[in-house]
Amino acid sequence: MSAKLPPTILRFDSIDSTNLEAMRQARAGASEGLCVVARKQTSGRGRLDRSWHSQKDAGLYFSIVLRPALEMNFWPLLPLMSALAVSDALMKSCGLSTDIKWPNDILANDRKLCGILVETVETVNGSAAIAGIGINLTSASLPNHLRSQATSIEEIIGRKPNGEEVLTELLNVIAERYEVLQSAGGAEHTLREWCAHSSFAFDRQVRVSLNDDSFVGITRGLESDGALRVESADGRIKIVRAGDVTALRPLG
């Protein structure tokens, strides 16, 4: 995906999931940069097999086909790169300052504003990554049980943003961040940038949960593949590659 080429955009009024459609397109040979956008998803997918609420026009729901020129061990940096791009785009298009919770949740006022799901798919042209992004534009249709943990751009800036403007900005910054990631020293740069944009990178007391297991510890930066280093109570560093991270102590 070149930073200069405008991507091809496929638009749907309603679809099961933009990630699923982007996977189907990738399997059928779609080029890098193909972007699938929908006004509504009937089976929006989230991390850890969760679903993603996708009411019509309440959010920006889209997925991009990537064919990274990166060694496989750096592919886990794609979600971190995508989170940085969302953070850049929200600042540029809405003046919104956000935080990144490992690995790629975008928070505003400690509540979730955007989720990112990067999935890999095997295709006739080799492995591809599908970067799916869901941004809450308005809170109107958020289910009650999510209201204390989720927020929207509208709730924060006081008006519903123009989704098309946010999308255009995002596609530009994704192209830039993606090009940097694939350049010499790009992985280290992306890791440094992620740490600079996330209050979760260092010295944050968190609970890490995966399935029925959980432990509490203090964050100690990232591994070279983007895994989170967490120091547990016995002083040992645990390397977290999956699961949910929750802050135990708000900043400040």
CA–CA gap between residue 117 and residue 115 (Å, rounded)? 7
Which CB sits closer to ligand BTN, 51 or 232? 51
For tokens 């940097």, the residue is 180
Which CB sits closer to ligand BTN, 138 or 186? 138
Residue 144 is given by DSSP the state G
Paired residues of 218 in beta bridges: 205, 231
CA–CA gap between residue 35 and residue 231 (Å, rounded)? 39
Q: Specify the pairing of strand 126-136 against strand 202-210.
A: unpaired
Binding to ligand BTN (CB under 6 A) within 27-66 occurs at: 41, 44-47, 50, 52, 61-63
Which CB sits closer to ligand BTN, 1 or 135? 135
Which CB sits closer to ligand BTN, 192 or 241? 241
218, burial (CB in 10 Å: exposed 0-12, middle 13-18, buried 19+):
middle
Interacting span for ligand BTN (CB under 6 A) from 95-103, 112-120, 141-149, 235-243: 112-120
Using CB under 6 A as the binding criterion, the count of chain residues that bind ligand BTN stands at: 20
Nearest-approach distance from CB 174 to ligand BTN, in angstroms = 13
Residue 204 binds to ligand BTN (criterion: CB under 6 A): no
Residue 117 binds to ligand BTN (criterion: CB under 6 A): yes
CA–CA gap between residue 172 and residue 247 (Å, rounded)? 31
Nearest-approach distance from CB 235 to ligand BTN, in angstroms = 31
- CA separation, residue 23 to residues 53, 144, 207, 249 (Å): 20, 31, 33, 39
Nearest-approach distance from CB 112 to ligand BTN, in angstroms = 7
Residue 132 binds to ligand BTN (criterion: CB under 6 A): yes
* 7, 10, 17, 166: residue in contact with ligand BTN (rule CB under 6 A): 17
Nearest-approach distance from CB 91 to ligand BTN, in angstroms = 20
* 7, 19, 90, 107: residue in contact with ligand BTN (rule CB under 6 A): 19
Binding to ligand BTN (CB under 6 A) within 72-111 occurs at: 105
| Structure-token pair, residue 201 | 């990178």
Nearest-approach distance from CB 38 to ligand BTN, in angstroms = 8
DSSP 29-86: TPPTT-EEEEEEESS-B-GGG-B----TTTEEEEEEEE---S-GGGTTHHHHHHHHHH
| Structure-token pair, residue 173 | 């910054």
Which residues of this chain interact with ligand BTN, rule CB under 6 A?
17-19, 41, 44-47, 50, 52, 61-63, 105, 115-117, 132-134
